[in-house]
Amino acid sequence: MPSASGISAPPSAPPASIVPPPARAQRRFGTLYPQNQGPPAPEFQLDASVNFSESYVTNAAGTSVGGNQPDYLSSLGGNIYMHEHSRRVSLDVSYFGQVDFYAKGSIPTQINNNLQAVANLDIIHDHVTLGTRAFAQPIVNSNVGIVTAGDRVVPDGFQNSYGYSVSPDFRFELGNFLVSETTPSFSQAFFTNPPGTLNIPVIPGLFGAQDTTSRFLSERISSGTDFDRLTWNLVGSVSETARTQSLLSEKVGVANLRYAIDREFSLIVTGGYDAISNSIPLSQDLSGPVALAGFGLTFGQNFSLQVEGGSKYNSPSFLGNLSYNITPRALLTASVDDTVQTPEGQLLNNLTNLTARPDGSLGSADVLGNGSPASLSTYSIQSQGGVGLDQTISRYQTAIVSFMEDFDRNHASVSAYATRKTILSGVFFGPPKTDSWGAIVSLGRDLTPLLNGTISGSYGRDNQFGGDAATYALQGRLSYSLSRQTGIYASVQYLERSSSASLQSLSPFTGSLSDFRATIGLSHQL
């Protein structure tokens, strides 16, 4: 799926040129996808590999200033995969590190880290569990600023992000009448600049991300199995997002009722109050009643739809989720969301979407009906359609739809997104509402048992800072296995951005640009 740049997702852990070794199936673990029991996860596995590649890039700095600067790029990297699954402990880690050397010295040597880790500890079975997640990933400052084909990390256009989340869960039942679940959470995100960064905003109002701490506590009391047609939830939560310049707080208390008309169709009503405050006053009063109503549709384990609409943040609001296993090998998902957050808080929220799949691999929860993860599904800590790390507090209204299918030898993924961002505080240029939308299509084929290829194309449209930009990207890759441990690959990546006159006048770095990269590489599993 596309990253916040609306172009192409940064690598989940290793880049697309590196394929993780298959997990050695030993023991089925966990109930993350009880309806999709795919290949069992490994009991213990540790694998490592090294990678070397040579590339030619036409725009080394990724800027629209002074014409393109071609350069030759040498990349040396290594990756580690570790899985530990036992009766009470599960740990899945994927790490990829890489160093980029530029022959002409057009930009300094860059070090990239990509980490995904999910761990769960069953302290008291069915009552107390501890969940942790961690990530490291380069992130794009703005898709209308300095960008590169394939999100190659360059100064002033990217930041290195690191973070973690710790969340214990306390669950108790009062017979068959109710279930109580208490969930505190503590998360932090940290950011550093790549070597060569000027440490000044290259776009007015775009200050980059800041170190952030998030604290969250929720209490959910739900109906037990004694309730049949009418089920209910009472939820209270308190959250804080702390940065250097402000403290964003939200307190929510809502009740949710669901009445089943029959086995498939149910009516849903949600009501309560949401109080939002910031240490620096917001431009709009968001505190007020929450009143939503909608319906749910469920057809067995293959189709689930929930839609609600009404009032939230003192204005119209819509929420929804769809999951449809069209066939055992085809999956359609969609979601509509409405949140108020900082850019860094968005990253920490997205960390909760990182999951360990049934086979032990890490990524998003895109699992096909047959229990296998969708092969072209990707995970990124950045939201689709994000429009820059601008240090504002904003309301994000998002819609995402994705289709994934795996045939015997062919693989497909299609996704589209739209985001409206309403700025509520901070220094910004242009109108307070910005929009972005786009789509990405990826196709893959196993040409032979040893040779496979993928091709993808994407389009993104961003309206911000009083201007707009259209970004096109194409990528293609062929990989061939020389042996069980060694493989070679070749890839090409192309990006072109067309900026409006008003956007080009904002900064020298917001103009039209293009970048092309051609790569050949070798990987070896240790």
CATH entry 2.40.170 includes domain 44-525: yes
Residue 42 in this model has a pLDDT that exceeds 70: no
Quote the pLDDT of residue 121: 95
Contact (Cβ atoms closer than 8 angstroms) between residue 5 and residue 141? no
| Spatial separation of the C-alpha atoms in residues 231 and 178, rounded to whole Å | 10
Q: How far is CA 155 from CA 71, 152, 336, 344, 411, in A?
A: 15, 10, 34, 20, 35
pLDDT digits (tens, 9 = 90+) for 391-403: 889 999 999 999 9
Counting every residue written for the chain, the total comes to: 526
Over its C-alpha atoms, the chain yields an Rg (Å, rounded) of 23
Quote the pLDDT of residue 332: 96
Closest to 81 (Cα-Cα) out of 121, 41, 132, 110: 41
| Spatial separation of the C-alpha atoms in residues 394 and 433, rounded to whole Å | 9
pLDDT band of 110, cuts 50, 70, 90: very high
pLDDT band of 40, cuts 50, 70, 90: low
Q: Which two tokens stand for residue 318?
A: 């819509």
pLDDT digits (tens, 9 = 90+) for 334-376: 999 999 999 899 999 999 989 988 777 888 888 888 888 888 8
Contact (Cβ atoms closer than 8 angstroms) between residue 334 and residue 402? yes
Residue 228 in this model has a pLDDT that exceeds 80: yes
| Spatial separation of the C-alpha atoms in residues 239 and 216, rounded to whole Å | 4
Residue 514 in this model has a pLDDT that exceeds 50: yes
pTM for the whole structure:
0.88
Per DSSP, the three-state class of 504 is helix
Residue percentage of the chain with pLDDT more than 70: 92
| DSSP state at residue 508 | G
Q: How far is CA 475 from CA 101, 406, 421, in A?
A: 22, 20, 29
